[in-house]
Structure 1
Amino acid sequence: MAVVALLGLITPGTLDGNAAPFPLNVLEQIAFNTLVVLLFVLVLMHFVAHGGRRRARRGAREDTAGDRPYPGLDAFQENEAAVYFGREEETAQVVHRLLRPAAEPAERFVAVVGASGSGKSSLIRAGVLPRVRAGRWTVPPPVVPGDDPFAALASSLAPALGEAPDPVARRLRGGAEEFAATLARYRRASGPWAGRVLLVVDQLEETVTRGRERDREYFLECVAEALRRDRKLHVLAALRAEFLSDMRRADRTGLFAQPVLLTELQRARLFDVVKRPADAAGFRFAPGLVDRIVADTRRGDAVPLLVHLLRELHSRARERDYADLRDYAALGGVGGAAVRQADLAAARLREAVGTRDVLRTLLLFAGDTAGGAGAADGADARTVAARSLDRRQRRVVDAFVSARLLVSDSGGGEATVRVAHDALVHAWAPLRQEIAAHRERRRVRAELEHRRAEWERGGRGLDRLLTGERLRLAQEWLPRLREAGEATPELAAFVGASQRRDEEIRRRMAEGIRRFAERAAESRADSPVLLPLAALSGFPLRPAERRALVTVLALHHARFALGRRGEAVRSLAWSPDGRLIATATRDGAARVWDAETGALKRALGEEGGAASRVLWTPDPARLIVASQDGALRLWNVETGEPTPLRAEAAGVVHRAPWTPRGDRLAEVPRRRGLHLGGPPAAGRLPTRLRDTPTTPEEWRNRLMVRGAQHRRPRHPAATTPHHRAAAPPSSPERPRAAV
């Protein structure tokens, strides 16, 4: 009939001015009316058919909405589009990117990037895919890469190709050209009316966390080549934000140049997340309950926990289709959902990691409000750099990210982890008890982290490093923080830089004080004495610096100097009456000085001699000088005349105490033995008593002798009236000598 009507319209009424044949006149008269009727019928049939499909889809969605308006912690699926709300703007943005003409192949690759738990998978599956399918797009099942992205893609394409997944996977791995050819074959196998193909890759970060870098680069290379060869191919991928830099390093074709960033859901949209799915399912909330739920959610990071709570609330009040404050309170609110999830996550980790490591890891996320408005116990949630976590800590964090209790994101260009809801820190009893037990450590760590952050923000300036008491506190606590696994590399670097700076300051100050002290010693000035005192009490000094400062302190109290500056004194002795000072210097000379004026009284011997020790007799006019060759000489200080006391070389004298009456000399060579000398005036030679190593000690009216190998004096020998000492019997274990 349509053909007849069209022929009637296009056939001219006359060919050469004569009347048309009768059949053609009839056809021309009825053609227009027939065509109008046909068009009306076709339009009516289209609307009837399309309305039937819409009613079928609406019925399916209503069944889904009534059965499960809230999916819980799982992502929204395509058949749950009727209850998916809150991301309308982002959904429209992604659909627009897919539909707009693309000048470059990379523009047909759309990456949805956001933090963990931000709703990337839900946006793609429940937001974008239902709209795309309505436009004759062919969409294979979404791909999750796992360990092998090629095998995962093959499993998605194989049913339409009529093949087993393994041969399809081998062809996909066969090179970029074979990869593109396989996708083109899939499009043709989808039917003669198949339009554009949308390849969905969910959780693309698994090519980083579970796959090898070489496979990741090869997979992206193959995708880019397929996009270049097939203008009807589009790719939509979901990626966690902290892995965007990894993908960009592996991508050489600019696939990730213009991602769609999925930010935290704003508070105003949380009302849609709570109320609109309930309206679609015919479920009602008590007045004020929606406001209470949104207020308790606090921020968009906790949307997975919020939807999980709403699912529990719907299940509890489903028979009544009405939830009130008592139902909400019985579940503990959003915080209660977080606590139950934490219990489940900790139970799963208990055997693999242990409760202690779980709590120590989560303690990293409990900071300190430092006097701010925080929880009652002072704890507040903090963000942790992912690179500061070791392998065991990473395992705990991944488990709590999967439980939607922690959020992994990319802040400032680096991967970070933060708490999804403060209830994990404030309400979960095991972690709360751990926080209370380590409150002081948390406070110190928070203070150090605050100082470190200021140092970083200030460009790591020297003026922002720790000094004084703060540095001492950091040095004390850093080993404890390391032991607890809470000392991040950044914190350790900050404390180390502070310590090095402090040591440098101290070194420069000590060096300056040393030089100042040397100049003060030359000028004999009194004013700088406080500087050496401060240096000795507050700075670690090297031996040369300490000697210089001690010299200044000594000179500050000195009345005069004996001899030349820099001349080493080997031995010094005061005369019995305190009027004279005898010295033996390194030049080998012995000298006698006036103790009152410091004037040289007498030079005994010549420079270049062998004087090593000076010993006054009880008579202040007589002085014994011991030489390096072991000889002893008795000098008359008034006349300068020497008298030899010993001819044999028994060794350098180590010590030579006198008997109380002054008529005997117990002279001890450095090598060994004990020699008893007669009255000085008689010039009697010493008598060797023993060769055992000994060290005589003077103690009141007795001469105490001890063996050289003993640390304490032993075997005191009582002095007789004639000053002959009586000693107890000797033994091989305790050799001794007596006078």
Structure 2
Amino acid sequence: MGRREIPLDPSAGPVQQLAHALRELRAKAGGPTYRAMAGRSVFSASSLAHAASGRALPSLPLALAYVEACGGDRQEWEARWEAAGRELARSPRDDDGADPPYRGLVCFGQADRELFFGRDDLVDRVVDLMGRRRFVALVGASGSGKSSLLRAGILPALRERPEGAPRLAAVRVTTPGGRHTSEHAARLTTVPAASTEDVLLVVDQFEEVFTLCPERDRFLDLLLTALDEHSRLRVVIAVRADFLGRCAQHPGLAAALRDATVVVGAMSAAELREAVVKPAANAGLIVERALTARIVEETVQEPGGLPLMSHALLETWRRRRGRALTEEMYEAAGGIRGAVATTAEDLFRRLTPSQAGTARRILLRLITPGEGTEDTRRPTDRAELDAASPETAAVLEQLVRARLLTLDGCRVDLAHEALISAWPRYRAWIDQERERLRLHRRLTDDARTWVEHDRDPDTLYRGSRLAAAADAFAGEARQALSSPEAAFLDAGTAARDHESRQTARAARRLRSLTIALSVLLFVALSASLLAWNQGRSSGPRPRFARSGPCLFPPRPTSPVKTALPGP
């Protein structure tokens, strides 16, 4: 009697589907025992049983031995095995609990030093410059790896205290987005009282100074105190290259960056090879030579391609079978140019229509449209997303799990700006909504100001500004507003309507008063005319009055000459 097998669900995946088909083939062959099948094969009974267990895809020779022992067609089943392998390669897996050797779109952190390769020369150059300058800038295009270089390269190197590096009492990392950046930075730059060493403030994503920081001047003034002769503050910033012109417009910042700027350029082919192979080797994995060569070639040709390469490698790792990462898995993940879009679209297709709308609203809120520069990501507080909503919370969790977003405490952010250009659907949303997004960014800030000022009516929108915002967020577009933003816009509309009603009421009163005054004036005038006419009627009649018209007026009389008596 054959051993009892655990039932399988053929819809659970390609492995289970193939195992279920193998069992059906065995049943059609009369249900031979595995011991009997082993007598017709070079494989043991336990190996043949494992082939149809559904726990893993069997090797091709084992699968074909099972088929031949049951009288099946070798060519047909070889094609079925290959189809199952292709389907399995397309299906990512995270079920073994292993830590991935690649970070995907997420930048490397200080804890990822053992995964960070290919930047040794650049790290040494920056550390050396920091020993000679108190204010240093890393400048590079989006996707050049500035954040990872700072966090996983330079900061760990400083902890090792190489010769010539500054001695530091504390290292603190921040980004400049937010309304209370200056107060936060003031706390970060506080030097421990008992220490004689410096404090290093690392400002990542420095371009947010120009897009998200209302206290820009105060924040810059604070950072530039590092240049004072007796300062114990040191500063390192990482800024996107397309914002370098904005930095040059600030005289103090321009002076600070002179002779203190390191350009973070593209990695060489040898450096890229290290970044591909060594993390996998540390995890006990092998990257096929052909795959390594292909990734290096494609990344060299892709400007800002490091996060795309990292994400493609992560998705390839998730599709691994055994220890090898192969071209087949890489292609199933979508490659350099398609892995991000593949991940995003796979997630998007699994959402309900309502959830898809919520995902769109979340993702658009995380964008600041460029003004003469590329679009930038916009870190956002969870409260602004109305994350208390169960649907919003569920969609947010899925976006984070797919590594498209990061969640750090209450701060939600894109995993990388590469998502903006690498996901065509997202790019189309942004282009369609560009003008509304600009209005929305201003509305968000103004609504926050209104709330912070205890809903002061003087801070509400009026006139054309209110009309533009009300028009932009009418109908379905209103769903994009958070609760405070909707309340702010409603308050402005209510104030406008109240003023309109007051104006209309005043106009009606003025009309009534005008009519009343007109009536009074008419009555008074009529009375005056009547009195005048009555006055004429009661006076003496004319001397030469005629009953008819006077055709010949009387001649004037000459004075009568009276003859006086003579003497």
Normalised to the residue count of structure 2, the TM-score between the two structures is: 0.43
Task: Give the structure with the larger helix fraction.
Answer: 2
Larger relative contact order, structure 1 or 2 (CA cutoff 8 Å, min sep 6): 2
Normalised to the residue count of structure 1, the TM-score between the two structures is: 0.34
Task: Give the structure with the larger strand fraction.
Answer: 1
